[in-house]
Structure 1
């Protein structure tokens, strides 16, 4: 072992390598006996490719660039494709990101548009599709803009003909619901074809606060009638609904304080753990019923695993393997289940479970160690004590290098990572962006602060009315605890985050003295403007739960905003922003920069054309990661060989 100061260790985990392996497979589904999914292509402009695993076991990309299987429904996008066998051949329907149209595709042919373009506002968008070849239609969510403002939008369930007759004719699309609800998920049709079920909710609620499970009888006209609510409400969040093979209605509800699974209103496996999560995108799936009555479930408390639930005994048998986290996407076919799993030393890969043999194996996007795994960190999940004795969950990734050690008595710098959402959670999985820092001698602490999911409704509601308080306090509690126990250098602590994590980062830098610097990516900074008119419709009323109703607590919106406290921002920071971001637009950053101009605060502002909310292009991610490392090197007094110097301006 060679001795060198923390933060100066040489590492093969460079920014291009981390960028090339950013993202994960999503939206798995069976098409006949084949497994299909989407996966990222950072080197191809950040597009999402559609991939299939053939019956021969080979993996191939189905559509060449520039086809991009992704949509913009609620701006975060929903399930963008579906498929079925039609006369022995795969029939695929997908959304293309560039024009947001639905396309029909059969391998060997060219994609054909099924929906028209719209001259109004942000256009017509489609998500969470379900094929009905017997009717010759695909049923899905239609998001239709009626004007140019973000709130000029309506959402309904719609049926699009598969023959292409609606490609130039909006009137050929059948609307299946009346638009009384602001938000809907795609319909699930019962096995006998007589009933449809979907989720709906309205402003100001977010889907993890309260949704309704709607069911209707499908008439001879192909439209649901006698539609009524069978579960859910303002204080109960239904996250997913599906029909079992015998026609029973299955759904996840948090009525007990935890998202548990129910069949026709009866709990199947009541536990203090989660069998679902926040519905950020229409079409997320945490469970999938099998034909034999068993149910594949993604469940857990904190981390999530893949299991098989016996509905008669209520027992769950979990799949064996290196995967300790499973994403909310899975599908079932016969006795087979396919999901996306990862672990601390395994990146996300497509996993197939044979429920007869119990064998689980990777079948797609298989993990490959692109560097010696000796450079990966060895993380630990810990629970810290926050203000008032409350629990704060975090993943700690200590610095690690196979042949470097620090001088005796030196404690390492640490970066606190605040996840986005804020109703979300940092999973404990292999992330080369984390290894980029830890292999150089900088520790990372991912904090699942109060408001995070995975720990029950009470834990995530700690943030209700307390955004900018609880998240800031919990991150600071972890940072201070690491410093007090001698794990981290108290003089070399940083914080970083994107989106809601960018908010927490900015608020932490402006209202605490814990951190020496920070990296703020595509953030919310000014609550007085971030809402109807400046952000997208989906989150435009989110602040009513995170901060409070503006009519009741108007002063709180200014008091909490980092923009208001810009005069207290004195430490160096890096600001990263996509210029095409409609969720947290560049105007938020520009207001902060105007407030600190001339005050001598060292900072850098990097903007990226063609990037929206979250970075997808390899060149963007490389620039952002190297700039972040350079910031820490300059502030912490580190020699970071091979990292371009970031110019900090007062």
Structure 2
């Protein structure tokens, strides 16, 4: 007979150290000849990103030892940090961005020499940064995005498409870097060269637009000298988001656009600019997503004309699209979330995918046979999967009868049952972004709580991606209102239906989710406590030089222009409404965070001082926006659990006690 124990007190084999060790996922998959390469997290190695190589015989190896860290800081969220080409002799040639100094390096992994720098250092502001590289051996260059700081301020920056010589001549000479675009756009993606080498396409946009609001596709001719000529807009606009553009083998452009209200795939013939683009598979589904990082890929053309594409509504699948007939055939398999990183090589399509029973793994599809299998970082259960939660895909009703999408994870542990008269505590999770999405995948952080008897509800509140532009636009000038209301509606519905204990509800989130958490504690007494993680918390400070360039005008759409609605910035900021908070909370902050700097959190804490609300502040040196180090992840997770244990009255002596001070 299974023993009875109160919710939250159940023993679990999923401890914080195990959870931290499995944090992160593979990213930026690419092919180098017949080999697969990608970046992988290393929480136990200071949170660095390793470059992993999968040889044709199945041998998987880390190419660069610590402390090499393959990651770029372009727009702070980064993007594609490496590129590689196969050579007839000498093995692969790899170019990558090294996180500590942000220089581009070239490396011959089959040789004995260490990586050598290709780009110089700069003492101005944030220096020189590089992303989305493409190696052109015939030109002796790597083309990429250059982000160059021109002053000490976070918005003193310019971005252009640039060419870096592979011979190392620019390692100490900024003048040796060739600028290819004219700098007309504040933000650009990497260039995509046409099959005949005569033209090049890339994406650009400007403040105050974010890339999910409106972008432009630029087209230019490539001269014999390698310069770009006659650059002009061919697609997109201020109310049309194009997050990716590629060339089809026949020289036409393929791109994702939300011109219909959904990110669908389209085709455009640049030789017939007056003709309307062709929608290849018009559906109320997303075939693209928010361009939070430079160089994301939701689709790739195959040599025969077919297109491999990630698509879906909420959950996503990998499909093969025939652009002539519009027929779309999905890959068989358990995966419910495919990341925006696809690569193709011959008849192979490779991406990163996960499911509610498996963490992210590198998956290869053989288009000849239709067979898909995990080939890299294949999921292996670190504990018996009977301890994993069973998610429920739910749709709730919010104010004005609007739909709210959520994933509900009830408490689950085969070794314990709760008393029949007890309802479980629940934590509402608000995702970051806020233009983001909570995917339906195995997350050991969720399992950490559910296996102990604490339920989790992940809310894809209004403003989330995955449900079309109209759903995404619900948050326009309504941040701090719609997200707060939607999370509350889910929590109240779970309590009303008898799923959750109404007296033991909590809310947590990081970044924009940290904002929603803090704003929820200000706006309502629904929650018994909250976990606020590297949050946006002071709108005026954030909008007046308090964050990085990429999001420095984000609030124009989320709140409204500061000069037009200054009172709204004050009214909605948790730092201004701190006196209305009554619930205990823990605030977790990285001291190296330039996106949501620690100063915001410290101003908020100063407002809370002496008010008698139990709270704790944990700050972490060496951590930026998004914790990566194993020790940090462990301490943060245990602190969060301790908050719930103390607030919910759970008997659990095995949790390191977090000191909550009034």
TM over 0.5: yes
- SS of 1:51's partner is strand
Contact persistence 2:155–2:549 (CA under 8 A): yes
What does 1:569-588 align with in structure 2 at a 5 Å threshold? 569-588=581-600
- SS of 1:404's partner is coil
Query: What is residue 316 of structure 1 aligned with on the other side?
Result: 328
What does 1:61-460 align with in structure 2 at a 5 Å threshold? 61-88=62-89, 89-107=91-109, 108=111, 109-264=113-268, 265-460=277-472
Q: Deviations over 1:204-258 (max 9, x none)?
A: 0000000000000001221111111111010000010001111111000000000
Contact persistence 1:26–1:39 (CA under 8 A): yes
Q: Deviations over 1:432-487 (max 9, x none)?
A: 00000000000000000000000000000000000000000000000000000000
Q: Tell me the matched-pair count.
A: 650
Query: What is residue 273 of structure 2 aligned with on the other side?
Result: none
- SS of 1:405's partner is coil
Q: Could you state the TM-score of these two structures normalised by the residue count of structure 2?
A: 0.98
Contact persistence 1:86–1:133 (CA under 8 A): no
Q: Deviations over 1:17-40 (max 9, x none)?
A: 000001000000010011100010
Query: What is residue 30 of structure 2 aligned with on the other side?
Result: 29
- SS of 2:645's partner is helix
Counterparts of 2:655 and 2:202 in 1: how far apart (Å)?
Answer: 50
Contact persistence 2:405–2:461 (CA under 8 A): yes
What does 1:504-583 align with in structure 2 at a 5 Å threshold? 504-583=516-595
What displacement does 1:137 show?
0.3
What does 1:47-62 align with in structure 2 at a 5 Å threshold? 47-62=48-63
* CA RMSD between the two structures: 0.6
- SS of 1:3's partner is coil
Contact persistence 1:465–1:546 (CA under 8 A): yes
- SS of 2:400's partner is helix
- SS of 1:528's partner is helix
Counterparts of 1:572 and 1:228 in 2: how far apart (Å)?
Answer: 55
- SS of 1:298's partner is strand
Q: Does residue 593 in structure 1 map to residue 605 in structure 2?
A: yes
Counterparts of 1:375 and 1:507 in 2: how far apart (Å)?
Answer: 33
Query: What is residue 503 of structure 1 aligned with on the other side?
Result: 515
- SS of 1:104's partner is strand
Counterparts of 1:498 and 1:275 in 2: how far apart (Å)?
Answer: 26
What displacement does 1:532 show?
3.9
What displacement does 1:641 show?
3.6
Q: Deviations over 1:321-365 (max 9, x none)?
A: 111110000101100000000000000000000000000000001
Counterparts of 2:115 and 2:322 in 1: how far apart (Å)?
Answer: 41
What displacement does 1:261 show?
0.3
- SS of 2:560's partner is coil
Range with greater deviation from structure 2 (588-597 or 461-470):
588-597
Contact persistence 2:525–2:583 (CA under 8 A): no
What displacement does 1:640 show?
2.0
- SS of 1:480's partner is helix
Runs of 4+, deviation exceeding 3 Å: none
Query: What is residue 2 of structure 1 aligned with on the other side?
Result: 3
- SS of 2:522's partner is helix
Counterparts of 1:638 and 1:426 in 2: how far apart (Å)?
Answer: 28
Counterparts of 1:370 and 1:507 in 2: how far apart (Å)?
Answer: 36
- SS of 2:516's partner is helix
Query: What is residue 19 of structure 1 aligned with on the other side?
Result: 20
Counterparts of 1:74 and 1:532 in 2: how far apart (Å)?
Answer: 18
- SS of 1:626's partner is helix
Counterparts of 2:544 and 2:159 in 1: how far apart (Å)?
Answer: 17
CA distance 1:532–1:93, shift in 2 (3 Å): farther
Gaps of 5+ in 2: 269-276
- SS of 1:125's partner is strand
What displacement does 1:550 show?
1.4
What displacement does 1:87 show?
2.4
Q: Deviations over 1:280-339 (max 9, x none)?
A: 001000000000001000000011111111111101111111111100001011000000
What displacement does 1:513 show?
1.3
Contact persistence 1:10–1:641 (CA under 8 A): no
Contact persistence 1:150–1:532 (CA under 8 A): no
Query: What is residue 627 of structure 1 aligned with on the other side?
Result: 639
